[in-house]
Structure 1
C-alpha cells in the first residue's frame, strides 16, 4: 500500500486516539522521556547517514582520481 494513501487515511480523530492510547500506556510523566529518546535516536540516525554519505563521496572521489 502506498505511503501517501495511508497518510491520507489518518485524520484528527485517529491522531487523538493515538495520543490517548500513548498517554494511557506511558502516563504523563514518561512522555518527555520517551520524546527525548526518540529525538536522540533520530539525531544518531541522521549523524550516521551523514557520515556514510561523506564516506561514499570520499570513495567516489578516490576512484575518479585513479
Structure 2
C-alpha cells in the first residue's frame, strides 16, 4: 500500500472515519474502524488521528469505545 501523504490518502482516511461515524449508534463501530484502518495499512500516526476524532464523536453521541 502506498503511504504517500496526498489527497487520495487523506480521502481514504476520511472514508475510514466515516465508517465508524456511520455506525456510532451500535457497539461495533470500533471493530469496523479497526478493520478499515487495517485494510488501508494505516500507520500508527494515521490510526491515532482517525481514532481520536471518532472516539470524541462517539462520546458526544453517548456511545464511547469503552
Which TM class, normalised by the smaller chain length?
0.3 to 0.5
Q: TM-score, normalised by structure 1?
A: 0.32
Q: TM-score, normalised by structure 2?
A: 0.32
Larger Rg: 1
Task: Kindly indicate which of the two structures has a greater share of residues assigned to helix.
Answer: 1
Higher RCO, Cα 8 Å, sep 6+: 2
